[in-house]
Amino acid sequence: MARIAIVGAGAIGSVLAALLQPTERHELILCTRRPLPHLHVDTPESSIDIRYANLTTPSQADAVDWVLVATKTYDAPGAGTWIEHLCRQGAPVAVIQNGVEHRERFAPYVRMEKIVPVIIDCPAERRSPERVHQRGPAELFIQADVLGHAFAALFDGSAAQITLTADFLSAAWRKLCINSAGSISAMLGKPAGVFLDETIGKETLEVVRECAAVGRSVGAILDEDLPQKVLNQYRNFPVDSVNSLLADRLAGRPMETDARIGTIVRYGRQHNVPTPRNSLLLALLEAI
Ligand SMILES: NC(=O)c1ccc[n+]([C@@H]2O[C@H](COP(=O)([O-])OP(=O)(O)OC[C@H]3O[C@@H](n4cnc5c(N)ncnc54)[C@H](OP(=O)(O)O)[C@@H]3O)[C@@H](O)[C@H]2O)c1
């Protein structure tokens, strides 16, 4: 039995709770900004009422065995306040977010070697603060080291599809390449149907090529045909499907522009890899 605190009970935090609960091996503590009296997750297989303790004040939090952070990347400072209290006895922190800077983002709040970076593939959205819809399976990519294995073991007996990889860097940059294409539809304010346009398709390939070139410059191993595969993937989505950057823009929420585009531009600058299209997308989306 592990005491597991989930910081951020949005779409992904709720999916993680819905994966862990059926194992019946853990005590779940949901750390939220507002009281959350009920939480219900509709998964592809079933409907799950989550059983949990709810905390809204970091200073009231006792030490736990694991902290799972599932806030948006730009909410790291708020999550850091929870970590300070929850990790009093040295608990590890799994960061389940997009981007490639999981460790750097949380280094101000917890020792680097206690951080487990996790990439999740899982289409999910909040229907209301108390109800989350998980539209497909949840696949987690984790570095195959001691803490990575320990984190994966929390999900033994769950529906999570876990990939422990010796090359997490490449897994994270591969996901960033997929996300980089999404910034075009966020910029246009239009769902996946825009990728069927020939000119947009060509520009998308260039945006993803820039991201892949930057990833390779920092050591990621990415197939040459990855940009084409990413474009094909977006072209195969239903024409009305909305990626999370676009969803945030349409809802008037902040966007994860820094973690998803800023990173490409910054690392590109550091490693002398030109990123003109990503730089333009970053400037335009930040101006919005
Ligand atoms: N959704 C997807 O399909 C998906 C798929 C793959 C990866 N991801 C990645 O997963 C990460 C989480 O995304 P998401 O879609 O789950 O976001 P989300 O639905 O917006 O959930 C984020 C949650 O964090 C909470 N939060 C923010 N600051 C907090 C604080 N200081 N204390 C406690 N809770 C706090 C928010 O609370 P409020 O309710 O108060 O705002 C919200 O409930 C992102 O990096 C995203 O890119 C998402």
Q: How much is the average pLDDT of 110-124? A: 96
C-alpha 131/C-alpha 208 separation (Å) is 34
Domains of the chain are: 2-166 (3.40.50.720), 169-287 (1.10.1040.10)
Q: Which whole number is the average pLDDT over 217-226? A: 98
Label residue 158 exposed, middle or buried (CB < 10 Å: 0-12, 13-18, 19+).
middle
Gap from CA of 274 to ligand 1 centroid (Å): 31
Q: Give residue 17 CA to ligand 1 midpoint distance, Å.
A: 13
pLDDT reading at 208 higher than 90: yes
**What DSSP string runs through the chain?**
-EEEEEE--SHHHHHHHHHHGGG--EEEEEE-SS-----EEE-SS-EEEPP-EEE--GGGPPP-SEEEE-S-GGGHHHHHHHHHHHTTT---EEEE-SSS-HHHHHTTTS-GGGEEEEEEE--EEEEETTEEEE-S--EEEEE-SHHHHHHHHTTTTSS-EEEEES-HHHHHHHHHHHHHHHHHHHHHT--GGGGGSHHHHHHHHHHHHHHHHHHHHTT----TTHHHHHHHHHHHS-TT---HHHHHHHTT----HIIIIIHHHHHHHHTT---HHHHHHHHHHHH-
Regarding the beta carbon of 11 and ligand 1, being less than 6 Å apart is answered yes
226-261 pLDDT tens trace: 999 999 999 999 999 999 899 999 999 999 999 999
Residue 216 Cβ inside 6 Å of ligand 1? The answer reads no
CB-based contact 168:77 (threshold 8 Å): no
Give the residue, by CA position, lying nearest to ligand 1 atom 5. Answer: 122
Q: pLDDT tens digits for 24-79?
A: 999 999 999 999 999 999 999 999 999 999 999 999 999 999 999 999 999 999 99
For ligand 1, atom 20: residue with the closest CA: 10
The response to whether residue 137 sits with its C-beta less than 6 Å from ligand 1 reads no
Q: Which residues are paired to 117 by β-bridges?
A: 95
Q: What is the pLDDT of residues 129-188, one digit of tens each?
A: 999 999 999 999 999 999 999 999 999 999 999 999 999 999 999 999 999 999 999 999
Residue showing tokens 């603060």: 129
Q: Which residue of 33, 60, 249 sits with most ligand 1 atoms within 8 Å of its CB, as the best mutation to test the pocket?
A: 33
Q: Are 245 and 180 in contact (CB under 8 A)?
A: no
By the 8 A CB rule, do 157 and 23 touch?
Answer: yes
The CA angle 191-187-251, to the nearest 5 degrees, is 65
Q: How far is the CA of 118 from the centre of ligand 1 (A)?
A: 14
Q: What is the pLDDT, as a whole number, of residue 96? A: 98
Judge if the beta carbon of residue 79 lies within 6 A of ligand 1: yes
Residue 81, pLDDT above cutoff 90: yes
- Could you tell me the pLDDT band of residue 1, with boundaries at 50, 70 and 90? confident
Amino acid sitting at position 17: A
CB-ligand 1 contact for 22 (6 Å cutoff): no
Neighbours of 108 (CB within 10 A): 10
Which one is catalytic: 175, 190, 202, 229?
Answer: 175
Q: 90 CA to middle of ligand 1, Å?
A: 24
* Distance in Å, CA 126 to ligand 1 centroid: 10
**Does the CB atom of residue 72 touch ligand 1 within 6 A?**
yes
Rounded-to-integer distance, Cα 249 and Cα 268, Å? 25
The C-alpha torsion from 271 through 173 and 41 to 253, rounded to 10°, is: 30
114 is catalytic: no
Sort strands 53-55 and 26-31 into parallel, antiparallel or unpaired: parallel
Cα angle: 129, vertex 135, 141; to 5 degrees: 100
For residue 17, what pLDDT band results from cuts at 50, 70 and 90? very high
Q: Is the CB of 41 under 6 A from ligand 1?
A: no
